[in-house]
């Protein structure tokens, strides 16, 4: 059991799934394949890979693909995420993906980071460490009146 509360067995399973997901990566422009594996409550793992586009801004990261796949199948509660990308040093999720994760996961949510070539050196961190001050849904409240902006 690591400090993030996930067992080494689960950790290894998720890293393996993230590496497998990276094989499907469509990354002809960056040549930077990334895979993600999201463990949902109940044990199902949702894989995702980065999908690039000739119109670069339409590219979607592996992490968001995994989250959107899971959410589109009715999942809302997640236990851990593994991300596999980079060589030598494990790739970190981008800010957009961390924000999407923070919609469903708290600051203690485990994120396992692995490079593509050294999965045995994967490290587990928390979502809160990667995005300490996420914009949360509690900050978006229905207003009875339009908020007037003072200038």
Q: How many CA atoms lie within 13 A of 67 on its CB side?
A: 20
Contact call for residue 94 and Zn ion (CB under 5 A)? yes
- β-pair partners for 38: 46, 81
Contact call for residue 90 and Zn ion (CB under 5 A)? no
Contact call for residue 97 and Zn ion (CB under 5 A)? yes
| CA angle (137, 138, 140) in 5-degree steps | 65
Smallest separation, CB 70 to Zn ion (Å): 16
Smallest separation, CB 63 to Zn ion (Å): 5
Contact indicator for 98, 127 with CB cutoff of 8 Å: yes
Contact call for residue 30 and Zn ion (CB under 5 A)? no
Contact call for residue 123 and Zn ion (CB under 5 A)? no
Print the binding letters for residues 43-82 with Zn ion: x by CB under 5 A, - otherwise. ------------------x---------------------
Catalytic residue among 20, 52, 63, 129: 63
Of the listed pieces 67-75, 78-86, 96-104, 134-142, which binds Zn ion according to CB under 5 A? 96-104
Nearer to Zn ion, 66 or 124 (CB): 66
Contact indicator for 53, 23 with CB cutoff of 8 Å: no
Phi, psi of 71 (to 5 degrees): -65, -35
The reply to whether 63 belongs to the active site is: yes
3-state secondary structure labels for all residues of 16-62: HHHHHHHCCCECCCCCCCEEEEEEECCCCEEEEECECCCCHHHCECH
Nearer to Zn ion, 135 or 145 (CB): 135
Binding site for Zn ion (CB under 5 A): 61, 94, 97
So which residues are the catalytic ones? 63
């Amino acid at each position: 059991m690591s400090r993030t509360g996930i067992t080494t067995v689960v950790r290894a399973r998720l890293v393996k799934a993230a590496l497998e997901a990276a094989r499907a990566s469509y990354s002809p422009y960056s040549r930077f394949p990334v895979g993600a594996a999201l463990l949902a409550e109940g044990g199902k793992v949702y894989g995702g890979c980065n999908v690039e586009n000739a119109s670069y801004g339409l590219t979607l990261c592996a992490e968001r693909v995994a989250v959107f796949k899971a959410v589109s199948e009715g999942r809302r509660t997640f236990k851990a995420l593994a991300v596999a990308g980079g060589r030598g040093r494990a790739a970190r999720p981008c800010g957009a993906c961390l924000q999407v994760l923070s919609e469903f996961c708290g600051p203690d949510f485990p994120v396992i980071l692995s490079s593509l070539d050294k999965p045995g050196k994967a490290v587990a961190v928390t979502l809160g460490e990667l995005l300490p001050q996420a914009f949360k849904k509690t900050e978006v409240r229905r207003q009875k009146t339009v908020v007037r902006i003072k200038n």
